[in-house]
Chains A and B, each alone.
Chain A
Amino acid sequence: MIAPVIAVDPLGDAALTVTIGSDGHPVPLAEIHAAARAIREAGIANLDDVVVGYTTLAAYYDPLRATYAEMSGRVTDALRQRSSAPLFSGAVSHEIAVRYDGADLENVADSCNLSVDEVVQIHAGGRYVVDLLGFAPGFAYLSGLSERLRLPRRGAPRTRVPAGSVAIAGLQTAVYPLATPGGWHLLGKTETRLFDHERDPPALLQPGDSVRFVSLP
């Protein structure tokens, strides 16, 4: 089923957002990925890239070569011709080895009324799906975290989270591909490289892929 497009808005003068759904009810993320694919595959002149968010997507263009009116028209046309071909037909299953010795492991256990071992078992026992990429190169938002590990973000974000940190927030988990500021709770660390600019594609995890974490002794 194809959801109606409800709004196209400028995101500055070098991008536009498309909000899909009706009356503020969120649509399944797959709808937004399907819309993004339709825009990417339409061969729109001067379109640079499409980024998928949880409730909107953004299409980026060079404002010296195209106007908002032109781009919003072409994007709207492309969305009318969305196909219902299956998404993520090339989805891959990944296993990521983790040493569970993160700085927040004990705090997470305390806050969730669990032992450290239980936190590790629950996190490593989950099967996660890549929702979307963003924030940093190769950073994948993974959904599927157990309700038993649900916590709000840290009150004060860290100014620097080490590369390879495996972290949780809300009902999501992620690996920090490079050292960046971050507000998620750190459970452990992996040696797996999430992003390598010499690899094709450079991001290891792609939307639709599934991920399991394996606890290293």
Chain B
Amino acid sequence: MTVQDEGRRRHRSAGVPRSGAMDWLAYARANALLGNAPGEAALECALGGLTIRFAAHASFAITGAAVDAELGGKLVANDCAISALPGEELTIKAIISGRFYYLGFGGGIDAPAVLGSRSTYSLGSFGGWHGRKIERTDTLPLGRGGTVTGKRETGFATESYRRERIRVLRCNQTALFAPHIWRTLMDGPFQIGAASDRTGYRIEGVRLSHDVAEQRSEPACPGAIQLPRDGQPIVLMADGPTIGGYPRIAVVITADLPALSQKRPGEGLSFAEATIDEAADALRSLAVART
């Protein structure tokens, strides 16, 4: 569990990864439900159980992965702003589907910004809460502001997350690969590998063996699909490096990063080619849905 926000967008030229929420849409929805300004920090949780005791009146919302949650012994729903009383306990018992859920709070988590962001970059031990994962007995201060809007959203999240075909764009290195490699990438099927984390998701299944030479180090971005010689793609994610030496065959569109990030190891997926206009349309439709 780490503190995340929209990420560190202006220090990539010094080699600092963007970081930020893996599922940017669920994270943004939490802030919208709570009446927060966009960009307030939230908790990103990837493991099942946790208990939070509220020390003061607060509002919160759970978004992203569907969870089995209780506040003071009563069931609470995802995608809904809820008020908590001093002393009340919120317990997340298990994740029902998906991988990352977000706990947003009215006013956001008041952690100091490092290099322009409150996002935790664990590998670099900076940002978020002292540059590390939240530990038992940590007490997190909340900012002011935010109102319980009473807004409730249903349907949208599950629809979006059920997407198996992750849309990708061609990039400047796509032409390095023989056409049949691209066709195989589009045909699949693939599954998420076990060695998948905030840095990158390994993709297993059909091997895309190729003989493209190792490239000189070139800029990378979250969503970039690198293809090492072993033919097993790696999709760079939020904490992925700013520069990479493996040739990249495609880049996942921003609109489909939430669905991809929510897939667990072993879960199936395939890829489909999109155009830059389709990517923009897909993103616009999500951005409308989030507010």
Q: Which residues of A contact B (CB under 8 A)?
A: 7, 9-15, 17, 19, 36, 48-58, 60, 62-64, 67-68, 132-139, 141, 177-180, 195, 197, 201-203
Q: How close is A163's CB to chain B, nearest CB, in angstroms?
A: 10
Query: Which residues of A have CB within 8 Å of B125?
Result: 178
Closest A residue by C-beta to B167: A13
A-B contact pairs, 21 of them (CB 8 A): A9-B172, A11-B219, A12-B251, A12-B279, A13-B169, A13-B276, A15-B221, A52-B219, A53-B218, A53-B219, A54-B216, A55-B218, A60-B9, A64-B283, A68-B276, A134-B242, A137-B16, A141-B217, A178-B124, A197-B127, A202-B14
Query: Which residues of B have CB within 8 Å of A136?
Result: 15, 123-124, 241
B111-144: which have CB < 8 Å to A?
Answer: 114-115, 121, 123-127
Q: How close is A23's CB to chain B, nearest CB, in angstroms?
A: 14
- Are the CB atoms of B124 and A12 closer together than 8 Å? no
Alpha-carbon separation in the docked complex, A50 to B242 (Å): 10
Q: How close is B249's CB to chain A, nearest CB, in angstroms?
A: 12
With A58-B221, A134-B243 known, 18 other A-B pairs at CB within 8 A are A11-B219, A12-B253, A13-B279, A17-B172, A49-B10, A49-B12, A51-B219, A51-B242, A53-B216, A53-B218, A55-B218, A57-B219, A58-B218, A132-B243, A134-B15, A137-B121, A197-B124, A202-B14
Alpha-carbon separation in the docked complex, A58 to B217 (Å): 12
- Are the CB atoms of B169 and A10 closer together than 8 Å? yes
Alpha-carbon separation in the docked complex, A141 to B14 (Å): 12
Q: Does B13 contact A (CB under 8 A)?
A: yes
Query: Which residues of B have CB within 8 Å of A17?
Result: 171-172, 218-219
Q: How close is A186's CB to chain B, nearest CB, in angstroms?
A: 18
- Are the CB atoms of B171 and A10 closer together than 8 Å? yes
Q: How close is A88's CB to chain B, nearest CB, in angstroms?
A: 14
Residue in A14, A54, A195, A202 with the greatest tally of chain B CB atoms within 10 Å: A14
- Are the CB atoms of A12 and B252 closer together than 8 Å? yes
Q: Which residues of B contact A (CB under 8 A)?
A: 9-17, 114-115, 121, 123-127, 169-172, 216-224, 241-244, 251-254, 276, 279-280, 283, 287
- Are the CB atoms of B12 and A135 closer together than 8 Å? no
Q: How close is B177's CB to chain A, nearest CB, in angstroms?
A: 15
Alpha-carbon separation in the docked complex, A213 to B223 (Å): 37
Known contacts A49-B11, A202-B14; is-contact A135 B280 (Cβ 8 Å): no
Query: Which residues of B have CB within 8 Å of A141?
Result: 217
Known contacts A13-B279, A50-B13, A51-B243; is-contact A63 B169 (Cβ 8 Å): no
- Are the CB atoms of A135 and B15 closer together than 8 Å? yes
Query: Which residues of A have CB within 8 Å of B172?
Result: 7, 9, 11, 17, 19, 56
Query: Which residues of A have CB within 8 Å of B11?
Result: 49, 137, 202
Closest A residue by C-beta to B131: A197
